[in-house]
Amino acid sequence: MNTFRVLTIGGLLAYRALFNWIHPAIYIPSVLGFPMFQILFFAYLGRFSGLRDDAFFVTGNAIQAAGMAGIYASVFTIGNDRFYGTLGPLLASPASRAALFTGRALPIVANGLFVSAFGFVVGWAFLDFEPPLGSLLPLALVILVSAFATTAFGMLLGSIGLRTKDILLISNLAYFLMWLFCGVNVPLDTLPGWMQIVGEGLPVTHAVAAARELIDGAALGSVWRLVAAEAGIGAGYLIAAFALFRVFEREARRHATLETT
């Protein structure tokens, strides 16, 4: 029962604290406003350049919007505990580390799903974007898997934050490089070979490709390999994040450096 409470209530409280207890004045501009203008900007830039249609940019940026929610929220979930001095007492508790870790990830996944769905609604409301009705449920699955993968990636960056002072620089660099390496706004097959290889190992890449095929009328069965690849990448990042978290926790205990590095 205590593990379940840590997983659910503890995770929810940690997430609420990210946005000043979910005050709309904080949440709406930072979590919904940025992806909305990101989608509109790149869609109109695409119209001007003639590179691709609105659907290309709406799909790519709406899927990547889950990455914004996942990466930054995950990084600050761990980073804020350290910054405000609550990480030490938290890790001194006998609570299950897996429950602490997973409890902080679940609300972020749910938020990533919501933010990405909001991005698609923005594209439908303001741009030339009308996905087939039959693609909506498969698209929701792709968004969910993408939200999980990007959250896991963010948890890995957050774990690295236990050993560095400027984790915000790392999270900013990771998020904005995803624009380029993951085929969000630039077709993946037009990038140099080494960039395509890097992109294949990042979250969002396979989800964007799967979502675009679904929008074009493909069935879920024809993109399951892409969805499975995205889920596998997310699982790999999550395992690495938890392992790194445990290693850095033990090192911090041994050298008394939890809040001094």
d(CA 132, CA 141): 15
Each residue's pLDDT tens digit, 211-240: 999 999 899 999 999 999 999 999 999 999
The per-residue pLDDT for 181 is 93
Q: Left (φ > 0), alpha (ψ -120 to 50) or beta: where does 191 sit?
A: beta
Burial of residue 104 (CB within 10 Å: 0-12, 13-18, 19+) is buried
Is residue 103 within 8 A of residue 218, CB to CB? The reply is: no
Tell me what pLDDT residue 118 has. Answer: 94
Ranges of residues in the chain whose predicted pLDDT is under 50:
none
Question: What one-character-per-residue DSSP string does the chain give?
Answer: -HHHHIIIIIHHHHHHHHTTTT-HHHHIIIIIIHHHHHHHHHHHHHHHHTSS-HHHHHHHHHHHHHHHHHHHHHHHHHHHHHHTT-HHHHHHS---HHHHHHHHHHHHHHHHHHHHHHHHHHHHHHSS----GGGHHHHHHHHHHHHHHHHHHHHHHHHHTTS-S-HHHHHHHHHHHHHHHTTSSS-GGGS-HHHHHHHHTSTTHHHHHHHHHHHTT--GGGSHHHHHHHHHHHHHHHHHHHHHHHHHHHHHHHHT-TTT-
Domain locations along the chain: 2-255
* Residue 99, pLDDT score: 78
